[in-house]
Amino acid sequence: MWGLVSKVSARIHISTRLSSVSNKTIGTFPVFRFYSSSAEQKYRKKLLEEAQKQGFNSIEELKNHLKGTIESKKREFNKIDPLKELEDYQQRTKMENNNSKHMMTKSRSPLDPSAPKVPFKTLDSFLDVAKLKDLSKQEVEFLWRARWAQKDNTLCAVIPVPVYDKMMANAKNNPIFVLPLPRQVQSNDAKSSEEQGMELHYIQWQFVGPQTTHCMMTSLAEYKLHQEFARPHTTLQFHSDLVKDKEIVFMNGHVEPDTNVNVQDAQLLLLNVQRFYGAMGEETPVAKQRVQLLRDFSKGSPEFNVEKLISLSQSMEN
Q: What is the domain partition of the chain in residue ranges?
A: 33-108+121-314
- Cα 141 to Cα 135: distance, rounded to the nearest angstrom: 10
160, β-bridge pairs:
248
Ramachandran quadrant class, 97 (left: phi over 0; alpha: psi -120 to 50; beta: rest): left
- Cα 145 to Cα 119: distance, rounded to the nearest angstrom: 24
The predicted pLDDT at position 186 comes to 58
Beta carbons of 106 and 219 less than 8 angstroms apart:
yes
The predicted pLDDT at position 106 comes to 52
- Secondary structure of 21-88 in the HEC alphabet? CCCCCCCCCCCCEEEECCHHHHCHHHHHHHHHHCCCCCHHHHHHHCHHHHHHHHHHHCCCCHHHHHHH
Pick the closest to residue 5 from 220, 178, 176, 122 (CA basis): 176
Q: What angle do CA 255, 226, 234 make, to 5 degrees?
A: 10
Amino acid identity at 235: T
| Other Cβ atoms within 10 Å of 92 Cβ, number | 11
The predicted pLDDT at position 75 comes to 55
The pTM of the full predicted model, rounded to 2 decimals, is 0.67
Q: Angle, nearest 10°, between helix axes 306-314 and 263-276? A: 110
Which helix or strand (DSSP H or E) is residue 311 part of?
Answer: helix 306-314
> Helix, strand or coil for residue 216?
strand
Pick the closest to residue 34 from 157, 137, 132, 142 (CA basis): 157
185, β-bridge pairs:
195
251, β-bridge pairs:
157, 238
Digits of tens for pLDDT over the chain (318 positions)?
Answer: 444 333 343 333 333 223 333 333 333 344 565 554 444 455 677 778 887 888 888 878 877 887 777 666 655 544 444 444 444 544 544 333 333 333 334 555 554 455 555 578 999 999 999 999 899 999 999 999 999 998 999 999 999 999 999 999 999 999 999 999 998 765 565 555 566 788 899 999 999 999 999 999 998 878 777 777 788 999 999 999 999 999 999 999 999 988 889 999 999 999 999 999 999 899 999 999 999 999 999 999 889 999 999 999 999 888
Strand positions, DSSP E, the chain = 33-36, 154-160, 176-186, 194-209, 212-219, 234-239, 248-255
Beta carbons of 102 and 86 less than 8 angstroms apart:
no
Beta carbons of 200 and 179 less than 8 angstroms apart:
yes
* Cα dist from 306 to 206, 277, 315, whole Å: 24, 17, 14
